[in-house]
């Protein structure tokens, strides 16, 4: 076995010459995967002037140096592109989406917590905080006030996506 089981990080061997090359390659891959962040998950061709250490998730229809690497994490290094195939459970922050994605074993999926709310199965179930609902203040016609407050509560729950509209 010349690589680790999960990420195929190169292993050192007894009597191996130039161990620093193998060790440094493993560190480059660990650096890309530890608290991973990619610039985008929507590019199908390599960016023109990447900076060393920047990463992307290769989109479908990849071309150029990324051809055949769909779904992989593309890492720009001083030695050129390195590609890391995703594994189930890998979670990555995507800069241009402002939320995380995770690999579920077959494909990348958007995370449930995003800037604009909480999602389940791509349906927003919690959105931005809405204004407070005033409670009934008493009076002669309690039924009308109660109905009004219940209607406001239902409108807020629908607005948050917690119940269907």
In a domain, 20, yes or no: no
Whether residue 99 sits in one domain with residue 44:
yes
Look at the alpha carbons of 18, 24, 26, 28 in this order and tell me if their dihedral is positive or negative: negative
Stated as kind and residue range, the H or E segment containing 87 is none
Residue 70: inside a domain:
yes
Whether residue 94 is found in the same domain as residue 129:
no
Check whether residue 79 and residue 95 sit in a common domain: yes
For residue range 11-32, what is the model confidence (pLDDT) as tens digits? 788 888 888 888 888 888 887 7
Q: Residue 51: inside a domain, yes or no? A: yes
Write down the pTM of the prediction.
0.69
d(CA 41, CA 73): 9
* Residue 6: inside a domain: no
Between strands 91-94 and 37-38, the pairing is parallel
74 and 100 part of one domain: yes
- Between CA 160 and CA 62 the distance in angstroms is 37
**47 and 64 both lie in a single domain:** yes
**41 and 102 within one domain:** yes
- Reported as a single tens digit per residue, the pLDDT across 41-65 is 999 999 999 999 999 999 999 999 9
- C-alpha torsion 26→30→31→35, nearest 10: 180
Structural domains in the chain (count):
2
Tell me, yes or no, whether 49 and 93 share the same domain: yes
Residues 139 and 74 occupy one common structural domain:
no
Specify whether 61 is located in the same domain as 102. Answer: yes
Exposure letters 82-117 (e unless 16+ CB within 10 A, then b)? bebebeeebebebeebeebbbbeeeebeebbeeeee
Specify if 4 maps to a domain: no
Residue 30 within any structural domain of the chain: no
- Residue 44 in domain: yes
pLDDT tens, position by position, 92-118: 999 999 889 999 999 999 888 887 788
Q: What pLDDT, in 10s, does the model give residues 68-79? A: 999 999 999 989
125, 75: one domain: no
Other beta carbons within 10 angstroms of residue 144's beta carbon come to: 11
Of residues 52 and 130, more confidently modeled: 52
For position 137, what pLDDT does the model report? 63
Enclosing domain of residue 47? 35-110
Instruction: Examine the domain organization and report whether 73 and 128 are in the same domain.
Output: no
**102 falls within a domain:** yes
């Amino acid at each position: 076995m010349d690589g680790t089981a999960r990420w195929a990080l190169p292993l050192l061997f007894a009597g191996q010459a130039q161990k620093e090359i193998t060790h440094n390659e493993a560190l480059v891959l660990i650096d890309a995967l530890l608290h991973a962040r990619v610039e985008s998950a929507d590019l199908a061709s390599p960016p023109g002037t990447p900076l060393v250490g920047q990463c992307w998730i290769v989109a479908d229809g990849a071309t150029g140096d990324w051809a055949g690497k769909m779904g992989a994490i593309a890492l720009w290094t001083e030695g050129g592109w390195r590609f890391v195939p995703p594994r189930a459970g890998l979670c990555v922050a995507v800069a241009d989406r402002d939320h995380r994605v995770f690999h579920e074993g077959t494909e990348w999926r958007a995370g449930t917590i995003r800037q604009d709310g909480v999602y389940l199965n791509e349906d927003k179930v919690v959105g931005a905080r809405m204004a407070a609902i005033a409670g009934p203040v008493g009076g002669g016609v309690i039924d009308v006030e109660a109905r009004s407050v219940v209607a406001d509560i239902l409108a807020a729950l629908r607005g948050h996506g917690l119940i269907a509209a």
